[in-house]
Structure 1
Amino acid sequence: MPNRPYLYHELTNSICTICYRKVEAKIIEENGKIYMVKRCLVHGPEKVLISTEVDYYHQTRRFIKPSEMPLVWNTPIRYGCPYDCGLCPDHEQHSCLTLLEITDHCNLQCPICFAESSPHRTSYRSLAQIEFMLNRIVENEGEPDIVQISGGEPTTHPDFFEILDMCKSRPIKHIMVNTNGIRIAQDREFARRLSEYMPGFEIYLQFDSFEAHVLKDLRGADLRRIRQQAIDHLNEFNISTTLVVTLKKGLNDGEIGDIINYGLQQKAVRGVTIQPIQAAGRLEGYDPATDRLTVSEVRRMIIEQSEVFQDADILPVPCHPDCLAMGYALKLGGEVLPLTRMIDPEILLEGDSNTIVFEQDSVIRGKMFELLSTGHSPQSSALSLKSLLCCLPLAAVSEQITYNNVFRVIIMQFMDAYNFDVRSVKKSCVHIVHPDGRMIPFDTYNLFYRDDKEELLKERKEDIVTAWD
């Protein structure tokens, strides 16, 4: 009997990239790659690349952990995922990171912006509205892991520091500010005031490229001087910073290694987060057919371009392994020591141990203890597995290793209509708090729930009701 030219792995649900109707989708392996194959009854078939590395794809399927639920659910199950966000009781992951968008205004008009912010959008959320949204986050999480203040450009909000105070007064473990860095660069006193919110505070700094033409393509302006001035102020006050790279295939994907190496040299930088473009919002000069990047491609670029991370150092993050990968290193005594390779996946999968010890790489272990000069046993410097393999920053390993010594590289992919996978989106752990208090996965928010997009969602819900009738 003849065989199909591919291996069939599983069946899931996706959406049509044109009409956003839910459709069945097969996950197949063909020519050493993983694809999603789906068919809309109206708009026909689609084939989307999911992973360029079969082995890594299978690894993501092994890196799972028990689902962590929020304390409360915000919406009922009525139409099915992704039409009930959220969070509805059918979601499988609480909010590891919640974005709090405080304004639609921005002092840039980037050609690529999922929020479609610009100087022409002038709305700022009131303190009362922000307090309501913050209270909903706390109600859902009890002690939220990370709340990221975002926008628009949040530093343009007239009550910015009052909002920081509101966050600090609540039991939030870690606060981030998502910023393009313009105000930090131009206002040293503003940067100094930010330092007063340390510890438990971090700047999530837009940092896409060292090249003028790339920045003009992604941001509409040459921001090289602004970026360096912002880094200078952040280094001066040692404000924990993550460099955030919006990655476009063929444009800045050759700079990953340079950006990581640059970050390693900066006093205040704790890591680099790489975000392939999500096909949502404002997308000028972006062709999904040629400009898309998968997690596996970005992971391979990190390994090939970085002087630190190797294949065993970039692992799936268990809370959402399809879309998150992470590697850790320690900066000690002028040297950079990769750390993630010392994690035994079997310990992770068994789930009955919350610690790992430095016993799997004797060379690194010996060098680490030589640099620490503590004389303690490996067990006394054990790492918290929950802290290491999560979106949380690593707080400390020992008295000698603090957050200042930690450097992490994260790949954070947000699904769009092309690679949308209902099985996977149920594990999404990066959420946006809607102004009405719903907690909505980042992936679905930008497709269905931002601004006037819920009008299209109403049409899809009507389709479901019609089909039932």
Structure 2
Amino acid sequence: MPNRPYTYTDFTLSVCSKCLRKVEAKIIIENECVYMLKRCKHHGMEKVLISTDVPYYELCRQFIKPSEMPHRWNTPIKYGCPYDCGLCPDHEQHSCLSILEITDVCNLQCPICYADSSPKRTTWKDLETIKKMFDTIIKNEKEADVVQISGGEPTIHPQFFEILDEAKKRSIKHLMINTNGLRIANDEAFVKKLATYKPGFEIYLQFDSFEKETLLELRGQDLREVRQKAIDHLNKYNISTTLVAVLKKGLNDHEIGKIIKWGTEQKCVRGVTFQPIQHAGRTKNYDPSTERLTLSEVRQEIIHQSEFFSSDDIIPVPCHPDSLAMGYALKLGGKITPLTSVIDKNILLEGERNTIVFESDEALRNKVFKLFSLNHSPESGFKGLKDLLCCLPKVILPNGMGYENVFRVLIMKFQDNYDLDVRSVKKSCVHFVTTDDKMIPFDTYNLFYRDDKEAYLETLREEITN
């Protein structure tokens, strides 16, 4: 009997990349890669690369843990995923990271921007609206793990510090500012005031490349000097910082190892997040058919280019394994010691029910650990890696060590109209808070709910109803 040229492994639902109608999809393995095959009756067949690493894709299927729910649901189930976002009762993960956008205005107009922000936009959310958005997060989470203030460029909001004060009044473990760094580079007094919000405060700093031409293509400006000045100020005041690199295949993916190494040498940097371009918002000079990066490709480049992390050190994040991968290490006396690989997978899947205690520097270096049911932390205010990713076990470090000894690498691969997988959407844990009391997953917000896109979504909903 004739055989198909692939192995059929699974079935899911996706959307047509052209019209966003829901379609059935096969997951197949062919030529040592994982693909999604989907067919729209209006636009025909599509074949989308999902993973270049079959063993890692299969490993993600094993990183399953009981779903952690929000304390309330925001929208009913009516049209089915992904058309009911809000969160609806069919969702399978609470908000590990809640994003609050305070403005659409930006002091850059990056050719790549999922929010389509720019100096030409004029929308600023007022303080009362922002308070209500904070309240939405807290109603859902009771105690929020991580809240990220974003935009546009949030640091240019006229009530920026009042907004931070409102955040600090609420039960938020960790507060982040998503910024392009221009104000941080050019206003040291501003940075000095930011330092007063420590601990539990972090800068999420745009940092894509060391190369002029790459920055011109991604950001529209040569920002090398700006980035260095921003890091100099953040180092001076030791404000915890995550470098965020948006990746485009063939443009800056060769710089992954260099960015990691440079980050480990900065006093203020606690890690690097790599974010492949999501085909949403403004994506000039971007061809998703040739320039998309899968999570597995980024992971393979981290392993290939980095002198610190091996394949055992970059693992799926249990709350959303298809879209998140992580590696943790410790910075001790100028040495980087990977941590993730010494933690048994079952401990990770138990999450906060376990605590890992590293008793000494020597134990860290020798990767020796014991498990205890302890619930204390160093006086530095750092309460453990668990505070930064809700599904991690709590990690207790030796006395005198704190968050500044942590270094993490995280891959955040947001799905778009090409690779959207409803199974994965249901596990999304990065959510935008809206002005109408909703929490919407990052993947679907940029496809269906941002700006005027919900008008077209109503058309799709009408088709379902009729």
TM-score tier, shorter chain, comes to: over 0.9
User: Is the Cα contact below 8 Å between 1:355 and 1:385 reproduced in 2?
Assistant: no
Residue 309 of structure 1 aligns to which amino acid in structure 2?
F
Residue 100 of structure 2 aligns to which amino acid in structure 1?
L
Match of 2:216 in 1: 216
Per-residue deviation, residues 179-234 of structure 1 (Å, max 9, x unmatched): 00000000000000000000000000000000010000000000000000000000
Match of 1:124 in 2: 124
Q: CA deviation at 1:71?
A: 0.5
Secondary structure at the aligned position of 2:172 is classed as coil
TM-score of the superposition, structure 2-length normalised? 0.94
RMSD of aligned Cα (Å): 2.3
User: Is the Cα contact below 8 Å between 2:37 and 2:47 reproduced in 1?
Assistant: yes
Residue 364 of structure 2 aligns to which amino acid in structure 1?
M
Match of 2:434 in 1: 434
User: Could you say if the C-alpha distance between residues 66 and 232 of structure 1 is closer, same or farther in structure 2, counting changes exceeding 3 Å?
Assistant: same
User: Is the Cα contact below 8 Å between 2:173 and 2:387 reproduced in 1?
Assistant: no
Match of 1:71 in 2: 71
Per-residue deviation, residues 106-160 of structure 1 (Å, max 9, x unmatched): 0000000000000000211000100111111101100000110000000010000
Aligned equivalents of 2:318, 2:271: Cα separation in 1: 19
Pairwise mapping of residues 52-451 of structure 1 onto structure 2 (< 5 A)? 52-349=52-349, 354-356=354-356, 366=362, 368=364, 378-379=370-371, 386=386, 390=390, 396-451=396-451
Pairwise mapping of residues 3-14 of structure 1 onto structure 2 (< 5 A)? 3-14=3-14
Aligned equivalents of 1:284, 1:158: Cα separation in 2: 30
Per-residue deviation, residues 240-297 of structure 1 (Å, max 9, x unmatched): 0000000000000000000000000000000000000000000000000000000100
Residue 177 of structure 2 aligns to which amino acid in structure 1?
V
Aligned equivalents of 1:365, 1:381: Cα separation in 2: 21
Aligned equivalents of 1:285, 1:93: Cα separation in 2: 34
Residue 255 of structure 2 aligns to which amino acid in structure 1?
E
User: Is the Cα contact below 8 Å between 1:394 and 1:406 reproduced in 2?
Assistant: no
Q: CA deviation at 1:29?
A: 0.6
Aligned equivalents of 1:31, 1:234: Cα separation in 2: 46
Residue 323 of structure 2 aligns to which amino acid in structure 1?
C
Residue 123 of structure 2 aligns to which amino acid in structure 1?
S
Match of 2:41 in 1: 41
User: Could you say if the C-alpha distance between residues 152 and 370 of structure 1 is closer, same or farther in structure 2, counting changes exceeding 3 Å?
Assistant: same
Aligned equivalents of 1:423, 1:324: Cα separation in 2: 14
User: Could you say if the C-alpha distance between residues 377 and 426 of structure 1 is closer, same or farther in structure 2, counting changes exceeding 3 Å?
Assistant: closer
User: Could you say if the C-alpha distance between residues 387 and 203 of structure 1 is closer, same or farther in structure 2, counting changes exceeding 3 Å?
Assistant: closer
User: Could you say if the C-alpha distance between residues 19 and 450 of structure 1 is closer, same or farther in structure 2, counting changes exceeding 3 Å?
Assistant: same
User: Is the Cα contact below 8 Å between 2:103 and 2:154 reproduced in 1?
Assistant: yes
User: Is the Cα contact below 8 Å between 1:208 and 1:245 reproduced in 2?
Assistant: yes
Secondary structure at the aligned position of 1:140 is classed as helix
Residue 433 of structure 1 aligns to which amino acid in structure 2?
V
User: Could you say if the C-alpha distance between residues 338 and 217 of structure 1 is closer, same or farther in structure 2, counting changes exceeding 3 Å?
Assistant: same
Q: CA deviation at 1:400?
A: 3.4
Alignment coverage as a number of residue pairs: 458
User: Could you say if the C-alpha distance between residues 79 and 334 of structure 1 is closer, same or farther in structure 2, counting changes exceeding 3 Å?
Assistant: same
Aligned equivalents of 2:58, 2:198: Cα separation in 1: 40
Aligned equivalents of 1:98, 1:269: Cα separation in 2: 21
Aligned equivalents of 1:187, 1:197: Cα separation in 2: 17
User: Is the Cα contact below 8 Å between 2:351 and 2:391 reproduced in 1?
Assistant: no
User: Is the Cα contact below 8 Å between 1:101 and 1:154 reproduced in 2?
Assistant: yes
User: Could you say if the C-alpha distance between residues 59 and 312 of structure 1 is closer, same or farther in structure 2, counting changes exceeding 3 Å?
Assistant: same
Aligned equivalents of 2:268, 2:357: Cα separation in 1: 27
User: Could you say if the C-alpha distance between residues 73 and 324 of structure 1 is closer, same or farther in structure 2, counting changes exceeding 3 Å?
Assistant: same
Per-residue deviation, residues 373-401 of structure 1 (Å, max 9, x unmatched): xxx98457999785586478987523233
Q: CA deviation at 1:369?
A: 6.0
Residue 463 of structure 1 aligns to which amino acid in structure 2?
E
Match of 1:50 in 2: 50
Secondary structure at the aligned position of 2:128 is classed as helix
User: Could you say if the C-alpha distance between residues 393 and 357 of structure 1 is closer, same or farther in structure 2, counting changes exceeding 3 Å?
Assistant: closer
Q: CA deviation at 1:358?
A: 6.8
Q: CA deviation at 1:348?
A: 3.5
TM-score of the superposition, structure 1-length normalised? 0.93
Residue 368 of structure 1 aligns to which amino acid in structure 2?
L
Per-residue deviation, residues 53-86 of structure 1 (Å, max 9, x unmatched): 0000000000111001100100000000000011
Aligned equivalents of 1:204, 1:394: Cα separation in 2: 23
User: Could you say if the C-alpha distance between residues 370 and 456 of structure 1 is closer, same or farther in structure 2, counting changes exceeding 3 Å?
Assistant: closer
User: Is the Cα contact below 8 Å between 2:350 and 2:393 reproduced in 1?
Assistant: no
Q: CA deviation at 1:346?
A: 3.4
The runs of 5 or more residues in structure 1 that have no matched partner are: none
Residue 238 of structure 1 aligns to which amino acid in structure 2?
N
> Percent sequence identity over matched residues?
65
Match of 1:453 in 2: 453
Aligned equivalents of 2:414, 2:228: Cα separation in 1: 28
Match of 1:29 in 2: 29
Aligned equivalents of 1:399, 1:313: Cα separation in 2: 25
